[in-house]
Amino acid sequence: MFFVMFIHSPGNADMQTAPEIFLLKGFISSGAVPVFFLLSGYFGARKIDLKSVSPGHYIQEKIHTLIIPFLFWNSAVLVLVFTVKYFHMDSAFRGSGAYFDVSPNASSIGAALFGIGRCPIVYQFWFLRDLIVVVFLAFVLCRYFPIIRQILTAKE
């Protein structure tokens, strides 16, 4: 998490002026998101392999740890965006990403909230949206694909 925050911090450096910042921000931190996915996969796989973890418990845990925070923060930013737009202050913030590319209709709000067809309103949460999909897909494949394969091979 520290390295992901470091990637998004302001300021750039080159090897000549600040080699330590260049090394941290330009080299080491560039692997932060893949490492996050690998660690999430490792710890998630351990839980998927535990037969004592029921599908209901797994889904409930992922709802609490991934989906609720994802929706909470996207909703909070959406409220802030519409508040700023209501007071016609959005032009002052226009250079701050795609926050204001949302309209007050259901399809635009849904797309911004869930990140479907666009990045989520909190665009840095693209990885969290993708992680949610991967976590549930991995559970289904790891738990039920071997069963499906056994059923198919038993009929032959």
Range name among 11-15, 69-73, 76-80, 123-127 with the lowest pLDDT average:
11-15
Residue 69 included in any domain:
yes
Distance CA 156, CA 150 (A): 10
Distance CA 55, CA 61 (A): 10
Residue 105 included in any domain:
yes
Q: Which two tokens stand for residue 56?
A: 């209901």
Domain of residue 64 covers 50-154
Q: Which two tokens stand for residue 50?
A: 């535990």
Residue 104 included in any domain:
yes
What percent of the chain is modeled with pLDDT above 90?
28
Residue-averaged pLDDT of the chain? 82
Question: What SS3 class is residue 98?
Answer: coil
Give pLDDT, residue 78. 94
- Structure confidence by residue, pLDDT tens digits, 9-45: 666 777 777 787 777 777 777 788 788 778 877 777 7
Residue 12 included in any domain:
no
- Please state the rounded mean pLDDT for residues 76-99: 81
- Structure confidence by residue, pLDDT tens digits, 131-140: 899 889 888 8
How many structural domains does the chain have? 1
16 to 20, 22, 30, 62: CA distances (angstroms): 10, 9, 19, 45
pTM (2 d.p.): 0.71
Residue 39 included in any domain:
no
Residue 77 included in any domain:
yes
Residue 109 included in any domain:
yes
Residue 143 included in any domain:
yes
